[in-house]
Amino acid sequence: MTQVGRRVRGQDGPAARDADREEPRPVGPFRRRGAGAPGIANVRRSGGDALQLVLEYMKQETLGPLKGLGRFLVFGIAGSIALCAGLATLLIALLRGLQETTGTTFAGNWNWAPYLIVAFTALIVLGLAAWRIGKGPAARRLPEGRKEGTH
């Protein structure tokens, strides 16, 4: 049998219950001097618990959203880079296609035309992207009475 405190495991009955009871401590003016203030220890402990709770809450409410923001930024930047690389490749393919497959249409004094066509196409794609961004979640954040472009 192993002992836990004053109680022996496996021992039941009134003697075991009496062994677990603590003597009541005197309160107020009946307290012995120098015995320590159990209330102060409890206040310190609960103050420390409250501080720990506040610190954990602050970490949860600041680090959690920052991790989400970081993930959002990483995937957003990676997606933007991939989209730009893909559009640049498509625009170069359009340029090479106009230069190679049109034969003599853009030869001589018209050799600048494929570049203008590709630049115009890039501006159209850029304008469509800006228009969709303005119509998306960004437009919903404007105040109700105020519309885009008005003061």
Domain ranges for the chain, please list them: 40-138
Please say if the pLDDT value at position 2 is more than 50.
no
Q: What 3 state SS string does 72-127 have?
A: HHHHHHHHHHHHHHHHHHHHHHHHHHHHHHCCCCCCHHHCCHHHHHHHHHHHHHHH
Q: Could you tell me the CA-to-CA distances from 34 to 24, 29, 78 in Å, in that order?
A: 17, 13, 67
Helix axes 113-135, 38-101, angle to 10 degrees: 150
Task: Find which of 48-52, 114-118, 136-140 is predicted with most confidence, using mean pLDDT.
Answer: 114-118
The type of residue at 124 is I
Higher pLDDT, 123 or 8: 123
pTM over 0.75: no
